[in-house]
């Protein structure tokens, strides 16, 4: 497959160092707060990348870290007068809850910074020994001037990197861009013993230590949000390459932001939605919300920013409604005669397979992949008008499910899908004997169910006047009824 490499600024053919094995490291989260949609996007992008690589037949070792020691964590703990470890445990748990709801695959390794102190210290000691870092009063800084290629990822030249325009420069640094490898701790702060006194690691060094430990000195893919390109990833490259004397990651992959009103979603702007919040606010059940969110996030190419809104989410939901509607019809034995168009169907499936592969190979062009699914939906629907054999239906559904799985989509039992454009929704199944049943979520639901039963009985008697009155009455309350081929009535509002 082709993948865009930030390091070279172009799409490149992915050639893992070991032919059948892809090793990738993705910067995870700092666990000091609930994660928001932006974090979800990053998680889902790399989730899909992993799934696709596996689909391609690669063995994939996927490492995603937790930053579990950091100024923000300490600050949070202070504010809430509890220990930093309590903060960490709470938000790791919350992170798992969110990832689980989003059906994000669990990485193969999820290292924590604090479990790698000996590696971190060893790495810093080596950098000091090599003379590319210096020790000042318990702090250790990496000397950017020592690394010739500094700036190659972000495309910044050293002369341009005149810091101080926006930050106060630590006087003890030799150069404003030098960054901390080790920070001396103040009394009362969490600390680890080191040759330079008690302290904690700087932010960048942990990722070098953990990626090298779990993936080796040079590995294939290093990913994260594009806000990490500078300085985080630039610094990782400098320190890692200084340490190993060899290339760090071959391919650097960065996802775009989630925006609100075209502005980056961020803690500091306060314009963010946490994942938990979105699940709470959505009127659909969790699995449906998760799928709508995923569809929405994948409907824009991963490198572009994408703007979140209720409208955008419900557009994604509507697109999925059409797909799940087809899935239901494919599962029903229903009215279709066995006319078939085996050849026509095969042609469509072959066309789809090619489109799927091509779009995914092209730098994970998921919007194009979704278009391919929609195209297949339309083609199959057309054939369905004529009639599809049982076998054809099964094959088609299979294809949606197996290829959809690569995107983490279309895995819900089709009966569990909720068809509604907004608000809440339910469905009442009335079988031929007229008995009805399904869960209620709303006090109104029981009444609606009764109306549907009354209407059903009226229709049995061919009393269409009464049936229509009931339909209209419900319609006036914004409730739409759909009589389905299998004799059930579905409603939505």
Site for RNA (CB under 7 A): which residue of 44, 49, 184, 258?
258
Size of site (CB under 7 A) for RNA:
87
Quick one: 246 or 464, whose CB is closer to RNA?
Answer: 464
* Helix (H), strand (E) at residue 358: helix 342-361
- Burial call 278-296: b when 16+ CB within 10 Å, e when fewer: bbeebebbebbbbbbbbbb
Q: How far is the CB of 389 from RNA (least distance, A)?
A: 17
Quick one: 103 or 484, whose CB is closer to RNA?
Answer: 484
Q: How far is the CB of 18 from RNA (least distance, A)?
A: 26
CB 12 within 8 A of CB 5: yes
Q: Which of residues 316-335 bind RNA (CB under 7 A)?
A: 316, 318-319, 321-322, 325-326
- Which residue is associated with the tokens 């810093």? 124
- Which residue is associated with the tokens 């549907």? 452
Quick one: 18 or 310, whose CB is closer to RNA?
Answer: 310
DSSP 134-184: EEETTEEEE-GGG-TTTTTTTT--GGG--TTSSSPPPTT-SSTT-EEEEEE
Q: Which of residues 156-185 bind RNA (CB under 7 A)?
A: 156, 160-161, 163, 165-167, 179
Choose one: 95-103, 187-195, 229-237, 398-406; the region binding RNA (CB under 7 A): 229-237
CB 382 within 8 A of CB 22: no
Give dist(CA 416, CA 284) in Å, integer: 11
Choose one: 73-81, 396-404, 438-446, 457-465; the region binding RNA (CB under 7 A): 457-465
- How far CA 244 is from CA of 174, 216, 239, in Å, comes to 23, 10, 9
Angle 351-357-359 (CA atoms, 0-180°, nearest 5)? 100
Q: Is residue 481 involved in binding RNA (CB under 7 A)?
A: yes
Q: Is residue 91 involved in binding RNA (CB under 7 A)?
A: no
Q: Which of residues 98-157 bind RNA (CB under 7 A)?
A: 154-156
Q: Is residue 28 involved in binding RNA (CB under 7 A)?
A: yes
Quick one: 279 or 327, whose CB is closer to RNA?
Answer: 327
Q: Is residue 41 involved in binding RNA (CB under 7 A)?
A: yes
Quick one: 246 or 304, whose CB is closer to RNA?
Answer: 304
x-or-dash string of contact with RNA, 365-404, rule CB under 7 A: x-xx-xx--xx-xx--xx-xx-------------------
* Helix (H), strand (E) at residue 386: helix 366-386
Site for RNA (CB under 7 A): which residue of 229, 349, 397, 448?
229
Q: Is residue 361 involved in binding RNA (CB under 7 A)?
A: no
Q: Which of residues 207-226 bind RNA (CB under 7 A)?
A: 224-226
Give dist(CA 255, CA 221) in Å, integer: 13
CB 74 within 8 A of CB 26: no
Tally of CB atoms within 10 A around 49: 25
Q: Is residue 13 involved in binding RNA (CB under 7 A)?
A: no
Q: Is residue 337 involved in binding RNA (CB under 7 A)?
A: no
């Amino acid at each position: 497959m082709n993948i865009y490499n930030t390091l070279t600024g172009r799409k490149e053919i992915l050639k893992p160092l070991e032919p059948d094995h892809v090793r990738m490291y993705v910067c995870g989260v700092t666990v000091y707060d609930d994660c928001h949609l932006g974090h979800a996007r990053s998680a889902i992008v790399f989730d899909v990348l992993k799934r696709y690589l596996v689909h391609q037949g690669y063995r994939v070792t996927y490492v995603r870290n937790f930053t579990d020691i950091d100024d923000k964590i300490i600050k949070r703990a202070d504010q809430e007068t509890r220990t930093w470890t309590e903060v960490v445990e709470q938000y790791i748990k919350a992170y798992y809850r969110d990832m689980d709801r989003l059906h994000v695959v669990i990485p193969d390794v999820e290292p924590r910074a604090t479990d790698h102190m000996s590696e971190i210290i060893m790495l810093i000691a080596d950098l000091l020994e090599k003379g590319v870092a210096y020790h000042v009063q318990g702090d250790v800084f990496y000397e950017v001037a020592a690394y010739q290629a500094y700036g190659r990822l972000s495309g910044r030249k050293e002369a341009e990197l005149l810091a101080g325009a926006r930050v106060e420069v630590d006087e003890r640094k030799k150069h404003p861009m030098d960054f901390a490898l080790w920070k001396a701790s103040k009394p009362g702060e969490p600390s680890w013993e080191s040759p330079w006194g008690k302290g904690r690691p700087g932010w960048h060094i942990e990722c070098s230590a953990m990626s090298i430990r779990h993936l080796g000195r040079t590995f294939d893919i290093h990913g994260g949000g594009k806000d990490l390109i500078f300085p985080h990833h630039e610094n990782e490259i400098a320190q890692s390459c200084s340490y190993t004397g060899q290339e760090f990651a071959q391919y650097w992959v960065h996802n775009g932001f989630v925006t609100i009103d075209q502005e980056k979603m961020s803690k500091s702007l306060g314009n963010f939605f946490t994942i938990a919040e979105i699940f709470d606010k959505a009127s659909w059940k969790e699995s449906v919300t998760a799928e709508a969110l995923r569809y929405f996030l994948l409907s824009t190419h991963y490198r572009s920013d994408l703007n979140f809104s209720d409208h955008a989410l419900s557009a994604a939901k509507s697109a999925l409604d059409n797909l799940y509607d087809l899935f239901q019809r494919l599962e029903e034995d229903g009215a279709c005669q066995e006319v078939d168009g085996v050849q026509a169907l095969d042609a469509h499936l072959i066309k789809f397979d090619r489109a799927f592969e091509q779009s995914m190979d092209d730098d994970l062009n998921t919007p194009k992949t979704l278009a391919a699914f929609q195209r297949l939906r339309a083609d199959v629907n057309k054939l369905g008008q004529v009639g599809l054999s049982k076998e054809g239906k099964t094959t088609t559904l299979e294809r949606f499910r197996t290829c959809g799985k690569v995107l983490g989509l279309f895995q819900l039992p089709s009966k569990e899908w909720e068809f509604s454009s907004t608000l809440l929704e339910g469905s009442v199944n009335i079988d031929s004997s007229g008995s009805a049943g399904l869960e209620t979520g709303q006090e109104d639901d029981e009444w609606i169910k009764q109306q549907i039963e009354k209407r059903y009985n009226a229709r049995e008697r061919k009393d269409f006047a009464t049936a229509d009155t009931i339909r209209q009455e419900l319609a006036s309350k914004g409730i739409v009824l759909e009589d389905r081929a299998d004799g059930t009535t579905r409603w939505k509002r």
